[in-house]
Structure 1
Amino acid sequence: MKSFGTLSFGHYGPLGGGHQLSAQDSLLQAIDLAQGLDELGVNGIAFRVHHFARQQASPMPLLAAIAARTSRIEVGTGVIDMRYENPLYLAEEAAAVDLISDGRLALGVSRGSPETVVRGYEAFGYTGSEDPRGADIAREHFSLFLRAIEGEGLAERDPYSPFGGGTGLQRIEPHSPGLRSRIWWGAGNRDSAEWAGTVGVNLMSSTLLTQADGTPFDVLQAQQIDAFRGAWTAAGHPGEPRVSVSRSIFPITTAEEARYFGGGAGDDQIGVIDGIRSTFGKTYAAEPDVLVEQLRQDEALHSADSLMITIPSQLGVAFNLRLMESFATYIAPALGWEPTVATV
């Protein structure tokens, strides 16, 4: 494991007992958390993107704010739902954040996950999908997005323009060299992972797969990663792609953590998502020495180079920093991780 970071759902709303976490609270706490993680030497912070829900929905302003307040940590998403995106506008925003962060953007995109509304992307103006889940729209948008960040000319220059004119095709501005290598595709099955390898983007694999044949989740995910790397090699892409996996991991070192997560560990689960039988990865919750032994048996974790740990953002900045400090101190080094700065 070369790197690890956090993945936040960014939930806000009622917390119970009359307490409320507002959208503003969620955003400002995310910035504070990123600063603390940067100081700890954690490698990345990413946010899920969900529209029409009390979660993060517009990540670029948040990522830009984090980039301006940190110096080392990667800032990213896991994932942006491409069904909702204007690909050229997203290309402009992504390039701007990448430049502000000095190349620290790790942008995860995909078809997206199940929604709280019916075909919400149509309300954003993206209609005409022939797929019940809008996968064709996502792939079409993603293709144009890649062309844009690669610097391809996409609009005819106006030779009579008072702002420069000229002939030929104009690329999107700003342009960030190298951004193309920092794009990730979130894949929920083997076919999608192979497609990502063929296209030549990094692989982001989550805590569920739309497969359910009784094979353990980590084995299914390791097979998915192998298929991705095989497709990358067959397509002739240079270099080595990056691969991340997500896990719910809770080191228990205090009585408070035991109250929240003690007994929370379990086995893989089989369920239905978007009408498809799927395998959901288990939660890891135990004392650090136990977690080390459990994670050493996780095949996909050994196949990946990056680990994204889902965090309970509603519990606040201090609580999550303590969780990540425990992971960085007692667990990550045993899995091969080396900190970029000394841990506190």
Structure 2
Amino acid sequence: MIHSPGNVQRPRLQPHNPGLVERIWYGGGSLRSARWAAENGLNLLSGNIVSGEDTDDFTTAQLNLLSEYRRSLGADRTAARVALGRVIVPFDSADAATRARYRDYAASRHERTLKPQTIAALGGKRILFAPDVIGTAEQILEQLAADPVVAQVSELRLELPYEFHREEYAQILHDVRHLIAPELGWNPASPALQEAGR
């Protein structure tokens, strides 16, 4: 609320957009942020970084976060959307040098997934990281099927790694679009999107 002399106003997006709140996502990585998103009627997006609250295990922490979100939802928001982000790097159509680069990239980030990382800039918070999902499309689909968090969400979001080259991103997106997404039930939304993907 905004208080001014003789008046109290509730800020409102102009022009008014009915249903906007059902389309807003909140990226939550802690129990508190998941609870806040639920209490404010927002959809929840959880990625490959979460707070290490009461556990040193990433999967347990993320499942706890999703449970807290659902527990905190109002009775009118039973159909809230929950999305999960994962760094996914397929290399089916990559050449040998690029495959080696992808493996090296994942290996350089793997140690951070083995134990909580304390981040001084975040007040000493304990942060947990998910391992990157890398390999052939078949291996990636197996990893996603074995991830208990994936089974708890309505949407899976592809997160791209940093520091890659444009042609590498194009190859990753191509492999995801043609080899992974269809196996997960994805279909292009329209003929225009199908044409754009060619």
> What's the TM-score, normalizing by structure 1?
0.46
How many residues are matched? 179
Give me the whole-angstrom Cα distance separating, in 2, the residues matched to 1:225 and 1:238. 14
Find the residue that maps to 1:177 and give its secondary structure: coil
Select the structure that is richer in helix.
Answer: 2
Q: CA deviation at 1:224?
A: 1.3
Give me the whole-angstrom Cα distance separating, in 1, the residues matched to 2:164 and 2:129. 23
Q: CA deviation at 1:172?
A: 4.7
2:133 aligned with 1:284:
yes
RMSD of equivalent CA atoms: 2.7
Give me the whole-angstrom Cα distance separating, in 1, the residues matched to 2:13 and 2:67. 35
Question: Quick check: 1:184–1:201 contact (8 Å CA) kept in 2?
Answer: yes
> Residue 300 of structure 1 aligns with which residue?
149
Aligned partner of 1:186 among 27, 33, 43: 27
> Residue 12 of structure 1 aligns with which residue?
none
Q: CA deviation at 1:259?
A: 2.8
1:338 to 1:218, Cα distance in 2 relative to 1, 3 A: farther
Give me the whole-angstrom Cα distance separating, in 2, the residues matched to 1:338 and 1:171. 36
Matches within 5 A, 1:157-172: 171-172=12-13
Matches within 5 A, 1:1-344: 171-211=12-52, 213-215=55-57, 217-232=58-73, 235-253=74-92, 254-255=94-95, 256-263=97-104, 264=106, 266=110, 268-269=113-114, 270-273=116-119, 274=122, 275-312=124-161, 314-341=163-190, 342=194, 344=198
What whole-Å deviation, never above 9, does each CA across 1:32-72 have from its counterpart, x for those lacking one? xxxxxxxxxxxxxxxxxxxxxxxxxxxxxxxxxxxxxxxxx
Give me the whole-angstrom Cα distance separating, in 2, the residues matched to 1:316 and 1:299. 32
What whole-Å deviation, never above 9, does each CA across 1:197-231 have from its counterpart, x for those lacking one? 1221111112111116232x233212211221121
Give me the whole-angstrom Cα distance separating, in 2, the residues matched to 1:278 and 1:313. 19
Question: Quick check: 2:39–2:72 contact (8 Å CA) kept in 1?
Answer: yes
What whole-Å deviation, never above 9, does each CA across 1:220-252 have from its counterpart, x for those lacking one? 2122112211211xx222451111122111001
Q: Which amino acid aligns with 2:18?
A: P
Give me the whole-angstrom Cα distance separating, in 1, the residues matched to 2:3 and 2:76. 28
Question: Quick check: 2:21–2:41 contact (8 Å CA) kept in 1?
Answer: no
Q: CA deviation at 1:271?
A: 0.7
The alignment-based identity, stated in percent, is 25
Question: Quick check: 2:31–2:65 contact (8 Å CA) kept in 1?
Answer: yes
Give me the whole-angstrom Cα distance separating, in 1, the residues matched to 2:143 and 2:23. 30
The gaps in structure 1 that reach 5 residues or longer are: 1-143, 145-153, 157-167
Q: Which amino acid aligns with 1:246?
A: G
